[in-house]
Amino acid sequence: MRKKRLSLGIVLAALAVVASPVFAAGQAVESMWQAGPMTIDGVAQEWDDSTPIIEEGSRVEYALRNDGKNLYIIMVFKDPDPRARAAVYPRSTLEYTGMKIYFTNGAKKSKDYGILFQKKQYTADALIASLQKRGPKPSEAQVAEIRKKPTHIVFTEEVIKPKKAVAAGEEAGQADPPMFRSIEKGRLAVCEFRIPLNRVSQIGGINAGPGQQILLGFEWGGMTSQILKDMMAGRADGSVSASDRGVSSDAGFRDPEEGGGGFGRQGGEVGEMGRNPRYAKHAFWVEAKLAGEAK
């Protein structure tokens, strides 16, 4: 894991990379104290004075903040230059898999508690049906507004917990639940997450407070059955480029619009797709020290 001093706002503007020192083994990532609630919108301006950390394996950049109620996380995914022979694609298949963030205040890594954050695309009818199922039912005016657009992007947060976990406090936890938003611009994607600290009064809480140390796990990407279906459909109707499908074409593994480069010829078998770095699964854990309240 490498640490660098660089404004996330500058990262968004210039795609800059700066050399940085290396964390000592076992050193905790420190969260910065946040004086007031943060706006979760995928825009990085509020993070300008944070110190981004580069995760060595996935090359994703991230930073942490917290106030007395929530942990805030920003993650910046920067796709490699299409002309470079890059070995790592930080975003991988994030759009399909979403981001799982696990957390525990124990000494060992655990996937018992966490949140699955996903960005989904719904047709108007599917969104209306989903809202009606979850309740309360949308009004006629809301339904009419939804139908004005054929598709809608919806951000969802699904709580991960043991099957036998007691569901105490969930009714009281509706006011400030987990939340995320993301924005994409060219080769850059920015995701912001909010996770409650209090598990008793908030759905999906970490069960920790300011000043405490926790373990955070991040997991995303990899090959999925839906990706394979989309690849096969795209290959059949020609609607998906070879580079997006991860399969071979007469020109080898490269998008003609990218002007060459790429990895050379790749086979079309499922196993070879899975080995393609564009579809790699990424996962890492960090020790995080929540900031104490500023005096």
- Whether the bond between 138 and the residue before it is cis, its omega within 30 degrees of 0, is no
191 plus 230 within the same structural domain: no
31 plus 6 within the same structural domain: yes
Q: Name the residue with higher pLDDT: 259 or 62.
A: 62
Q: Name the residue with higher pLDDT: 73 or 278.
A: 73
49 plus 85 within the same structural domain: yes
Residue 164 confidence (pLDDT): 73
Q: What does the DSSP 8-state code read for residue 47?
A: G
Average pLDDT in the 125-143 region? 88
Kindly report, residue by residue over 270-295, the tens digit of the pLDDT. Answer: 555 657 888 999 999 999 999 998 76
Q: Is the pTM of this model over 0.75?
A: yes
**How many independent structural domains does the chain possess?**
2
Closest to 15 (Cα-Cα) out of 173, 190, 227: 190
166 plus 245 within the same structural domain: no
Kindly report, residue by residue over 85-103, the tens digit of the pLDDT. Answer: 778 999 999 999 999 999 9
Q: Name the band, by pLDDT with cuts 50, 70 and 90, for residue 1.
A: low
Residue 277 confidence (pLDDT): 86
Residue 205 confidence (pLDDT): 94
Are 204 and 169 a contacting pair, CB within 8 Å?
no
44 within a domain of the structure (yes/no):
yes
**3-state secondary structure (DSSP) of residue 236:** helix
21 plus 109 within the same structural domain: yes
Per-residue burial over 156-191, b if 16 or more Cβ lie within 10 Å, else e, is ebebbeeeeeeeeeeeebeebbbbbbbeeeeebbbb
Average pLDDT in the 118-122 region? 92
76 plus 23 within the same structural domain: yes
241 plus 175 within the same structural domain: no
Kindly report, residue by residue over 217-234, the tens digit of the pLDDT. Answer: 999 999 988 888 887 876
131 plus 145 within the same structural domain: yes
DSSP H stretches of helix in the chain: 8-14, 94-97, 124-134, 140-146, 225-237, 242-245, 270-275
294 within a domain of the structure (yes/no):
no
- Going from the C-alpha of 281 to that of each of 44, 54, 101, 270, the distances in angstroms are 25, 17, 14, 15
259 plus 147 within the same structural domain: no
Give me the chain's average pLDDT, please: 79
Q: What does the DSSP 8-state code read for residue 293?
A: P
pLDDT of 187 higher than 50: yes
85 plus 161 within the same structural domain: yes
User: Count of CB atoms within 10 A of residue 38's CB?
Assistant: 17
Domain housing 32: 2-222+280-289
168 plus 249 within the same structural domain: no
Kindly report, residue by residue over 151-168, the tens digit of the pLDDT. Answer: 999 999 999 998 876 554
Are 222 and 279 a contacting pair, CB within 8 Å?
yes
- Going from the C-alpha of 242 to that of each of 234, 254, 258, 273, 274, the distances in angstroms are 9, 7, 12, 11, 15
**Residues written for the chain:** 295
168 within a domain of the structure (yes/no):
yes
Residue 148 confidence (pLDDT): 94
Residue 235 confidence (pLDDT): 56
